[in-house]
């Protein structure tokens, strides 16, 4: 089972995921890619799916590592820049918008227009 949150707009199908698949171990296994701040768990591969209890939210990365070890599984940590960038706070959005256009090109899901988006940018002096 692979779990990816919806707020990682810089992850790419051709970029990050193939490296993940090459690193998966035979079951039982637990592979995790942390957020840029080492607080969140931005991608988890768990085999079998219930091998480790998952709990997402703020500060889930280290508790996931501990949970895997309590289940007798040494976690595999894979750091991927595209997966590490998540959008949890306005500063994260600003960091995403500072990426080169080529890194943002395929991410049509990130709104570029709309009153709410423009208001957020203005409120946090992002632009």
Q: pTM for the full model?
A: 0.70
Q: Which residues, in sequence order, are CB contacts of 84 under 8 Å at separation 6+?
A: 33, 34, 35, 36, 42
The pLDDT value given to residue 110: 47
The pLDDT value given to residue 23: 56
Q: Which H helix or E strand runs over 23?
A: helix 17-23
The residue that leads in pLDDT, 125 or 71, is 71
The pLDDT value given to residue 84: 86
Domains and CATH numbers, the chain: 2-83 (3.90.550.10), 87-123 (no CATH)
Among the listed residues 86, 76, 74, the one whose alpha carbon sits nearest the alpha carbon of residue 40: 86
Q: What is the percent of the chain where pLDDT is above 70?
A: 68
> Which range, of 26-30, 31-35, 50-54, averages the lowest pLDDT?
26-30
Q: Is the pLDDT of residue 18 over 80?
A: no
Q: Which H helix or E strand runs over 34?
A: strand 29-34
* Cα radius of gyration (the chain): 16
């Amino acid at each position: 089972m692979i779990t990816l949150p919806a707020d990682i707009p810089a992850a790419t199908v051709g970029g990050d995921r193939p490296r993940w698949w090459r690193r998966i171990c035979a079951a039982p296994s637990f592979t995790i890619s942390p957020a840029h701040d080492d607080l969140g768990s931005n991608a988890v591969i768990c085999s079998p799916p219930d091998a480790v209890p998952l709990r997402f939210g703020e500060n889930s990365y280290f508790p996931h590592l501990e949970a895997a070890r309590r289940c007798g599984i040494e976690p595999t940590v894979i750091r991927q820049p595209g997966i590490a960038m998540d959008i949890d706070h306005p500063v994260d959005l600003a960091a995403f918008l500072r990426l080169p256009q080529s890194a943002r090109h395929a991410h049509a899901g990130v709104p570029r227009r709309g009153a709410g988006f423009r208001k957020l940018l203005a409120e946090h002096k992002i632009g």
